[in-house]
Structure 1
Amino acid sequence: MGRVTTRRRVARLTLGAGISRREDTLVVEEPLEIRVGGRSLAVTMRTPGHDVELAAGFLVSEGVVTRGDEFAAARYCAGDAGDGNTYNVLDVTLAPGVAPPAPALAREFFTTSSCGICGKASIDAVRTQSSFNVRDDSLRVSTETLVSLPDRLRAAQDVFEKTGGLHAAGLYSAKDDELLVVREDVGRHNAVDKVVGWALTHDLLPATGTVLMVSGRASFELTQKAIMAGIPMLAAVSAPSSLAVELAIDAGMSLVGFLRGESMVVYSGAQRVEQQPADQHRAEGSAA
């Protein structure tokens, strides 16, 4: 397995203090080719680690699998160049009877770590119909809990503490009041795929009663990935896009953005956000 971090000699400059040379820790970024039944499906730039979860989550996002027993196995194999096993090619085996991805799904381009759907023909092509309905999910989360999630996510970001160069995603269970899993990656969509893949392999899909917490912005793609996994709420520390909000409203998913400090903006599904008595008092005072 490739390394998650690497060390490089760098020059640090500070105004008025000159230059110093030292070792710096960098996050590793390498390509991963995902194959299904020996056929290439996609290449993504990712941080090595939890690659099986990444592949599993990607297949959930594309509507190929919805249950853990549909994802039979995955193994690393050598690339086409004959350069041996570099742990950058992962071949997935689906369970008998599970239809393989349609040939049209094959990505004949590199999926970058910052954009998972670049190159798709149209927005309609990524509005994949989810097997799960999040509209009727009975999740309720207090504002106090929501404002605690960014710090809880950050506390679990071990590699970020060393490099400062990773996105993170975590799956919070309202029933258990805990972050079930946290994953880091140079690509925000990869971090989410790893979380969704973890849920798939632990037979937790649909992920009812959960919140997907992400360290960056809420894009259309991340919203779609949450819906495809049956997650009823997406919370982000930064802004959502207009398409993300439209998709969340259409699907009946709760979308929370700018979750920072003691404030947030609820863009859809506000019925799932339960105000504390102090919040209600302030809201009533503002209305008056």
Structure 2
Amino acid sequence: MSPFIRSRARLPATLEIEVLDEYGEPRRQAIAAERALTVYLNKREIVTLMTLGADPEALVVGYLRNQGLLARREDLEAVFVDWEVESAAVVTRHLPEDLEERLGRRTVTTGCGQGTVFGRLLEAVPTQTLPDTPLRQSVLYGLLENLGAYNETYKSAGAVHGCALCHQAEVLDFVEDVGRHNAVDTLAGHQWLGEARSARADIFYTTGRLTSEMVLKVAQMGIGILVSRSGVTQKGVELAERFGVLLIARAKGRHFQAIHAARRLELDAMPPRRPGDRRG
């Protein structure tokens, strides 16, 4: 990887305010930060992101990567965040030839706080073959247990989503932000910035819904298993089939719903049925 200039403008993910509890007594309460950050690519304003501000450089690099506005890590020359003017400047050696067309066509997604994808990303076809890594039920349960040690911002303040790069039951990198699309973009940025042990990642975990945006971004990161404690959307299912992504939805405790799981899910730890459980 070629060297580039980078700021390290991290801010605390939470701050404290005074609230009144149900007894009318004042107390201090941690809340999630929410800061505006306008992204410029070679001096061209691209978008304003709402974020915790905990790792802004990785967020903007991952965002531009996942939008197809940065094609190669080697093209990056600089990323600099200045919170005084709430801006992030990214410099690259090459811009997409169809930049204007991409920026002119925006789709507002179902991401928290409304995400946006540029161009025809939702119509994209796979540019790489994703690994058809099998998943053992016991490994899934182990991963869900290990993830319980994370979510620090959520535990203290709530109002955030978390995403993780994982290798089987091991959590390699975990990020929280005010929207799930911010968290996945930050992890994509970590991959390019060399801050995650991402080469071994074969599972992506998110606390948010499995939407088309989430499936698309995970597929672009080269990961073929996507796990969530939440549900799935129709377009998410369609894109997962197109890209070859195994979806694990509503994964809580010993319960989950596997989609596109044929020949990839090994049921080696089936819990006992309880009286009255419905089949099918």
- What TM-score do the two structures reach when normalised by structure 1? 0.80
Indicate yes or no: 2:147 matched with 1:153: yes
The reply on whether 1:72 has 2:81 as its aligned counterpart is: no
* 1:233 CA drift (Å): 1.0
Deviations 1:178-215 (A, max 9, x none): 21110000111101111111112229899675111001
**Aligned-pair distance for 1:98?**
5.3
In structure 2, the residue corresponding to 1:34 is in which secondary structure? strand
Deviation, 1:116, is: 0.8
Equivalent residue for 2:203?
Answer: 211
Q: Deviations over 1:148-180 (max 9, x none)?
A: 333322312222221122110000023xx5211
SS at match of 2:24: strand
Q: Structure 1: which 5+ runs fail to align?
A: 78-84
CA distance in structure 2 between the aligned counterparts of 1:204 and 1:69, rounded to whole angstroms: 17
Which residue does the alignment assign to 2:3? none
Percent identity of equivalent pairs: 22
Q: Secondary structure at the match of 2:84?
A: coil
* Paired AA for residue 279 in structure 1: M
Read off the aligned partner of 1:9 and give its amino acid letter: E
Equivalent in 124, 133, 136 of residue 128 of structure 1? 124
Does structure 2 retain, via aligned residues, the 8 Å contact 1:36–1:100? no
Letter paired with 1:70 = D
In the TM superposition, 1:121-200 aligns within 5 A as 124=120, 126-134=122-130, 137-174=131-168, 177-200=169-192
C-alpha RMSD over aligned residues? 3.1
Runs of 4 or more, structure 1, over 4 Å off, are 107-113, 203-209
1:100 Cα deviation (Å)?
A: 6.8
The separation in 2 between residues aligned to 1:168 and 1:141, in whole angstroms, is 21
Pick aligned residue for 2:270 from 276, 279, 288: 279
Note if contact 1:138-1:209 (Cα within 8 Å) is conserved in structure 2: no
Question: 2:191, 2:31 → 1: CA distance?
Answer: 28
Rate the CA distance shift 1:188–1:200 in 2: closer, same or farther, 3 A: same
Deviation at 1:10, TM superposition (A): 0.7
Q: Deviations over 1:100-150 (max 9, x none)?
A: 7702333899998432128x79xx55333453321xx14122111112333
Instruction: Check whether the contact 1:207–1:229 (CA below 8 A) recurs between aligned residues.
Output: no
Checking the alignment, whether the CA contact within 8 Å between 1:233 and 1:253 is kept in structure 2 is yes
Range with greater deviation from structure 2 (159-168 or 65-74): 65-74
- Which residue is 1:91 aligned to? 89
Q: Which residue of 1 aligns with 2:17?
A: 8
SS in 2 for 1:243: helix
- Aligned to 1:19, what secondary structure does the other structure show? coil
Asked if structure 1 preserves the Cα contact closer than 8 Å seen for 2:162 and 2:176, the reply is: yes
Aligned residues: 264
Give the match for residue 52 of structure 1.
Answer: 57
Instruction: Name the SS of the counterpart of 2:216 in structure 1.
Output: helix
1:246 shift after superposition? 0.8
Output the amino acid matched with 1:128: A
Which range moved further: 36-45 or 264-273? 264-273
Per-residue CA distance 1:224-275 (angstroms, 9 max, x = gap): 1111111111110010111101110111111110111112111114433222
Contact 1:5 1:26 in 2 (8 A): yes
Offset at 1:59? 1.7
Partner amino acid, structure 2, of 1:117: T
Return the offset for 1:50: 1.1
Mapped to 2, the partners of 1:152 and 1:66 lie a distance apart of: 34
Contact 2:143 2:170 in 1 (8 A): no
TM score, norm. by length of structure 2: 0.82
